[in-house]
Amino acid sequence: MLPSQIDSNFAPQQPHGFVKQERERIAKKVAEIDGLILNPEAFTQCEFPFPADISEPIAALQAPQTSGFRCTFPITEGVICPFVSKTEKRMQGHCKKAHNWRNPRRRGHQPKGSSQEVPWRTGVQYQRFFVQGAKSRFFEVGRGAGDPSSGEAEGTRWETLEKAIDHGMSKVDDVQQRKIKATDESKEPNPWLRRTGWARHLGRFDREELRALVRPVDPEKDPELVVVHKAFHQLIHRAQKNAVSDVVGRAALFEAHRKEEGKKPKKPFNSRMDKTTFRQYTLYWNQLLSYVVRTDDLDKEDRPRFKFTSKQQDMLDELMDAVDQVVEFQGQMLEAHVQGRVLQFCIALLDHGLADNEYQSVIISGLAVLGLQEGGRWANAEDYTPKLSAVIKLARLMVIQNAYEIRQQSIANKVGQGISQVDAEESTRSHVKLVQGMTRKFMMLTGIPRPWIGCWTPVRTDCTSGTARPPKGR
Ligand SMILES: [Zn+2]
């Protein structure tokens, strides 16, 4: 916490609930301390001195967690990368991204009972400074104090068990039978399928394995996705409250509904949904998020071809860091932080320039997987269009919410610098301008590079297998 945040941090009833007088007393005491970092910019830029990993746990923080993972890549002469994660998955992701590490352990090709050399240590004790923000991070403590072998032994046992299960599964299924035939698209009889290019994109991958990437979450196996999905629900709820004319203005709602340049939509965007619709629509987006998180653990050649922009990658890393902390420590503030990260990540996903191949976008890749039905059949246009409408509707809603948050944040910053509320509001970009900027960039059908939304819509065909129309209700 920074000195300027004393008031906002201690005011809420939970967990502190200090009255104004007490808060002022704390602020006064703190102001007497020299050498404190005063503002967020300075804080982001400074090198925060995290303790050495052999230090004793810090008593003032929450008690250390055990069974963590610690990266062992050297980053400079004699300095080991300090990255610590709660799960092996996160550590794998970190090693791939930060150190270009390749996982030698390929699914189905693992020699029995072998323990792989990996660039991390297990059974690590760790703590965390700061609930959120730039310097929020896990760090190792008490290195060498505990029994380092216990964590590893347990990990290996699990792996052996998992391998045994995997092996059994692959025998039962005739994998070959389930492979998607990469059809010659010019011969594809269904113009809808030809248009979507799904068969080509998902070609050599096993349909059931692909469908498993969007399966419902198992709280035991996917604690991270449970947090992501909950945050997404809450985000959409919150966005619905803001996406009304009383909050963002009618003009912004019209702008959010715009599909083509120079053509004003007939109706403003309507954020209302009944309970069933809400559940269904958030489900599709959550499936997309599951797809992103689950494929992130796979090697590139083990998943359909898509690419993250560097912004998307950064936002995903930040999201997953925030998620890890909720899994570990819980707490409302942490959850609120995840909501913000989910929004930023989704906006980054939407804002994806598709320069050459439309399947460089993970959203489009995920939408293709949502086109797979039980038994590995493709959804026809009739069945699929509602899903696409749902994804687009919530995308528009998130655009509005993002505009709202950008404006609020900007006004708050100015007020924090001593500018009056009225002046701050007047000098900050309006909701309608902010929405317009995003809609133009990635929510309209036309544009170069073609936004993700233009890849399938509008679809017109007279084919018997699907009387496809542009999705309604967007
Ligand atoms: Zn590292």
Ligand 1 centroid, distance to 84 Cα (angstroms):
8
Ligand 1 centroid, distance to 106 Cα (angstroms):
21
Ligand 1 centroid, distance to 96 Cα (angstroms):
9
Quote the pLDDT of residue 382.
Answer: 81
Ligand 1 centroid, distance to 375 Cα (angstroms):
41
Ligand 1 centroid, distance to 77 Cα (angstroms):
14
Ligand 1 centroid, distance to 138 Cα (angstroms):
12
Ligand 1 centroid, distance to 73 Cα (angstroms):
5
Ligand 1 centroid, distance to 78 Cα (angstroms):
14
Quote the pLDDT of residue 46.
Answer: 58
Ligand 1 centroid, distance to 99 Cα (angstroms):
7
Ligand 1 centroid, distance to 194 Cα (angstroms):
43
Ligand 1 centroid, distance to 274 Cα (angstroms):
46
Ligand 1 centroid, distance to 83 Cα (angstroms):
5
CB 459 within 8 A of CB 192: yes
Quote the pLDDT of residue 250.
Answer: 95
Ligand 1 centroid, distance to 347 Cα (angstroms):
27
Ligand 1 centroid, distance to 72 Cα (angstroms):
6
Ligand 1 centroid, distance to 113 Cα (angstroms):
26
Quote the pLDDT of residue 43.
Answer: 59
Q: Per-residue pLDDT for the chain (474 aa), expressed as one digit of tens each?
A: 666 666 666 666 655 667 777 777 777 776 766 666 666 666 565 556 667 777 777 777 777 888 889 999 888 777 888 898 888 878 888 888 888 887 765 544 444 444 567 899 988 888 877 655 556 678 888 776 644 443 333 344 334 434 443 444 343 333 433 455 444 444 445 666 666 777 778 878 888 889 999 999 998 888 899 999 999 999 999 999 999 999 999 999 999 998 877 788 889 999 999 999 999 999 999 999 999 999 987 878 888 988 888 888 889 988 998 898 888 777 788 888 999 999 999 999 988 765 555 557 888 889 889 988 887 788 887 888 888 889 989 999 999 999 999 999 999 999 999 999 999 999 999 999 999 999 888 887 665 445 566 655 544 433 333 333 444 444
